[in-house]
């Protein structure tokens, strides 16, 4: 018979909304895969995950299904899931897709006209990025700040399009393995060209905002597609250097197609 403490834990778990448990399980499982806690190719032991995360099987199964949809896991023929590995081409395609959808968002924002309040927020965000990049040397704190602001700018770009459809597609795309706008920025931290590469990215941010304000849809689209090429270059450097300490998830990327 369960002890009083065990019964209390069961009641607390059951009282917690299923949606909240599912989100908790999803975020933690995704983190475990990308951090290398669940090795590439390994089979997911559902009971072990249940015990480790302290949630019931239902939200764990929902999280596993979601991670399969995102492409981080693959369903096994006899049931269950395993951690996927990816070719460089898989990741490049995901980044290219993100650039394409963001290009479309930028074009729609330019052609339809972006809300003034969102444009002002984007300008303020880029001013803050400029302040970070004005530092002669970028330490860990500066890189963390850049990542936060960079993700914020890309979120504002999505808002500028004023399209729920585009917003949903971008939300899906950036969850693909390594496809987020800052997916490989952290790998630049120890690179001698780190600040220079971020300055190039920031110049593209300024250019796309300028194109949107000027209602130049084709130019805005092209800039965002080109912007994604920086992430592709960072990917190649990450795979070549096998930067495992800074980004253990690189272990999931194999160099052969």
Tens of pLDDT, residues 95-129: 999 999 999 999 999 999 999 999 999 999 999 99
Which pLDDT band, with edges at 50, 70 and 90, does 164 fall under? very high
Looking at residue 223, the DSSP 8-state letter turns out to be H
Query: Token pair for residue 226?
Result: 């080109």
Domains of the chain: 4-84 (1.10.10.10), 87-254 (1.20.120.530)
- DSSP H or E run through 188: none
- DSSP H or E run through 44: none
Q: Give the end-to-end CA distance of the chain in Å, rounded to a whole number.
A: 54
Query: What is residue 235's predicted lDDT score, i.e. its pLDDT?
Result: 72
Beta bridge partner(s), residue 83: 73
CA-to-CA separations, 149 to 64, 80, 140, 170, 181, in angstroms, rounded: 30, 38, 14, 18, 11
Residue 70 vs residue 56, higher pLDDT: 56
Beta bridge partner(s), residue 232: none
Beta bridge partner(s), residue 86: 253
For the chain, count helices (H), then strands (E): 10, 4
Residue 159 vs residue 235, higher pLDDT: 159
Q: Does residue 36 have a pLDDT over 90? A: no
Q: Which of 170, 178, 151 lies closest to 89, judged by CA?
A: 178
């Amino acid at each position: 018979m369960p002890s009083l403490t065990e019964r209390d834990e069961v009641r607390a778990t059951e009282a917690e909304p299923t949606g909240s448990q599912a989100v908790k399980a999803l975020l933690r499982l995704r983190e475990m895969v990308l951090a290398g806690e669940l090795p590439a190719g390994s089979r997911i032991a559902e009971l072990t995950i249940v015990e480790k995360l302290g949630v019931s099987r239902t939200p764990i199964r929902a999280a596993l299904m979601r991670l399969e949809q995102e492409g981080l896991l693959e369903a096994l023929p006899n049931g269950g899931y395993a951690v996927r590995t990816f070719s460089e081409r898989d990741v490049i395609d995901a980044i290219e897709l993100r650039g394409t959808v963001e290009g479309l968002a930028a074009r729609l924002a330019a052609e339809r006209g972006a809300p003034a309040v969102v444009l002002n927020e984007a300008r303020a965000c880029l001013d803050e990025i400029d302040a970070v990049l004005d530092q002669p040397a970028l330490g860990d704190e500066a890189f963390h700040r850049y990542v936060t602001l960079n993700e914020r700018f890309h979120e504002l770009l999505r808002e500028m399009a004023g399209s729920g459809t585009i917003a949903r597609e971008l939300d899906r795309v950036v969850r693909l393995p390594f496809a987020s706008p800052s997916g490989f920025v952290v790998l630049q931290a120890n690179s001698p060209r780190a600040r220079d590469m971020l300055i190039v990215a920031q110049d593209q941010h300024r250019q796309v905002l300028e194109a949107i304000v000027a209602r130049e849809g084709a130019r805005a689209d092209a800039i965002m597609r080109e912007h994604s090429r920086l992430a592709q270059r960072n990917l190649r450097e990450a795979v070549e250097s096998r930067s495992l300490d800074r980004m253990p998830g690189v272990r999931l990327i194999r160099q052969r197609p």
